[in-house]
Amino acid sequence: MSKSTETAATIGGRTLKLTNQEKVLFPADGYTKGDLVAYYRAVAPVILPYLRDNPLTMERFPDGIGVPRGIWEKQLPRYTPDWVRRVTIRPSTGAPRDVTYLVVDDEAALVWVANLAAITLHIWYSHVPTIDVPDVILFDLDPGERCPLARLAKVALAFREELGNLGIAPLVKTTGGMGLHVIVPLKPHYDYEVAKGVSELVARRIHTVLPQDTTLERTIARRPDDVVYLDWVQVGKGKTYVAPFTVRARDGAPVSMPLEWREVEAMRRKRAPETTAEMRRWTIANVPKLVAKTGDPWRREGWKPQALESALSRARSLWGV
């Protein structure tokens, strides 16, 4: 058995012990835990605004992604340092007990988490202290294995158009897998039932507009494999989504990357027979350089918390709902 190695890093006045930085987490690519830590340090200025005040669920792979299953961890690890923030909440209605989550508010906490081989960081749709009030709606656009890239882009752009008709300006990011996430930042005025109702309303509208390109069928075996599944049921207390700029536990170490809409427009013009290669253009290797050069694309597009009252009124007028 090889001896565990340690290095020290001082971040924000705190000294952290970084262990086994040479451990390979991505066998096909050779990326190590040290590479993961370096990545999260490099993107800390852009990822931390999405992590602060947000209960964190970690997807950890201490033995690398070649191991069939990682560790899905939301309960605060018992060895968490005292200086890492924590919050104790009931994760969902009817849950049997409270759960104490860690909250990543600064770079030191982010590096501590990365040193646990927490490759993917999952966050709630709401923040503390207003944990019962979501501040985003997310539409998960999940393409089948034979879905052309142009079709996925077409569907995403339909969301932009239909939401725009309601006076809502959405944002878009890659999932780090095959699909896209369309995000609507919300003013924290609505409960989860309202947010979920709006999510369903919009998804059904898109399916009405693009019935040959989309499906609402939740059972995978019943879905056509060349269309886009519109997953609107993800919004709910205790449910999570992958944070912007987080790494995914897949070959290539792809990143869930915020995009400008012009990049989706460019995808619409491509003839790729599937979506995976395009969605994985953004990786642990190139995102730090992109961020250093241009910053967060969503900040350029404009992160604008939005109200829903006028949008719902327009939906009743335009869509007859």
pLDDT for the residue numbered 67:
82
pTM: 0.95
pLDDT score of 209: 98
Does residue 106 lie within any of the structural domains?
A: yes
What is the per-residue pLDDT across 180-234, written as a single tens digit (0 to 9) for each? 999 999 998 999 999 999 999 999 999 999 999 999 999 999 999 999 999 998 8
Let me know if residue 131 belongs to a domain: no
- Domain end, chosen from 68, 90, 124, is at 124
* 265 and 177 within one domain: yes
Query: Which of 124, 154, 181 is a domain's end point?
Result: 124
92 shares a domain with 171: no
Q: Return mean pLDDT, the chain.
A: 95
Query: CA 295 to CA 232: how far, in whole Å?
Result: 29
For 20-54, write each residue's pLDDT tens digit.
999 999 999 999 999 999 999 999 999 999 999 99
Nearest to 80 by CA among 122, 44, 118: 118
User: CATH number, domain at 279?
Assistant: 3.90.920.10
- Give the tens place of pLDDT for each residue, 119-143: 999 999 999 999 999 999 999 999 9
Task: Evaluate if residue 237 carries a pLDDT over 50.
Answer: yes
**Beta bridge pairs of residue 283:** 254
For 154, 266, 278, 298, the CA distances from 270, given in Å and listed in that order, are 11, 7, 10, 23
Does residue 244 carry a pLDDT above 80?
Answer: yes
Neighbouring-strand partners of residue 102: 56, 86
- Which band of pLDDT confidence, cut at 50, 70 and 90, is reported for residue 300? confident
User: For residue 211, how many other CB atoms are within 10 A of its CB?
Assistant: 11
pLDDT for res 321: 82
12 and 156 in a single domain? The answer is no
Q: How many domains does the chain have?
A: 2
Task: Indicate whether 2 pLDDT > 60.
Answer: no
Last residue of a domain, one of 124, 155, 182: 124
Q: What was the pLDDT predicted at 92? A: 82
Domain assignment of residue 31, yes or no: yes
Same domain, 252 and 288: yes
Do residue 201 and residue 293 come from a single domain? yes
CB 16 within 8 A of CB 108: yes
Per residue, what are the HEC states of the chain? Answer: CCCCCEEEEEECCEEEEEECCCCEEECCCCEEHHHHHHHHHHCHHHHHHHHCCCEEEEEECCCCCCCCCCEEECCCCCCCCCCCEEEEECCCCCCCCCEEEEECCCHHHHHHHHCCCEEEEEEECCCCCCCCCCCEEEEEEEECCCCCHHHHHHHHHHHHHHHHHCCCCCEEEECCCCCEEEEEEECCCCCHHHHHHHHHHHHHHHHHHCCCCEECCCCHHHCCCCCEEEECCCCCCCCEEECCCCECCCCCCEECCEECHHHHHHHHCCCCCCCHHHHCCCECCCHHHHHHHHCCHHHHHCCCCECCHHHHHHHHHHHCC
Nearest CA-CA partner of 233 in 140, 160, 153: 140
- 53-70 per-position pLDDT tens digit: 999 999 999 999 988 778
- Residue 258, Cβ density class (10 Å: 0-12 exposed, 13-18 middle, ≥19 buried): buried
**pLDDT at residue number 28:** 96
Whether residue 221 sits in one domain with residue 92? no
Q: Report the alpha-carbon distance of residue 92 to residue 201 in Å, rounded.
A: 23
So what's the pLDDT on residue 91? 86
Residue range(s) defining the domain that contains residue 49: 6-124
Cα-Cα-Cα-Cα dihedral sign, residues 241, 244, 249, 250: positive
Domain check: are 153 and 204 in the same one? Answer: yes
Report yes or no on 241 lying in a domain.
Answer: no
Task: Report pLDDT digits (tens) over 254-299.
Answer: 999 999 999 999 999 999 999 999 999 999 999 999 999 999 999 8
| Same-domain check for residues 90 and 218 | no
Q: 301-317 b/e with 16+ CB inside 10 Å = b?
A: bebeebebeebbeebee
Output the pLDDT for position 1.
38
Report the pLDDT value the prediction gives residue 4, as an integer from 0 to 100.
61
Question: How many CB atoms lie under 10 A from the CB of residue 107?
Answer: 17
**For the segment 68-125, what is each residue's pLDDT rounded down to a tens digit?**
778 999 999 999 999 999 999 988 877 789 999 999 999 999 999 999 999 999 999 9
Q: Domain check: are 95 and 39 in the same one?
A: yes
The amino acid sitting at 52 is R
Query: Are 24 and 117 part of one and the same domain?
Result: yes
Report the pLDDT value the prediction gives residue 212, as an integer from 0 to 100. 98
Domain-located, residue 129 = no
Whether residues 191 and 80 fall in one domain: no
Q: Is residue 1 part of a domain?
A: no
Q: Indicate whether 276 belongs to any domain.
A: yes
Residues 200 and 84 placed together within one structural domain of the fold: no
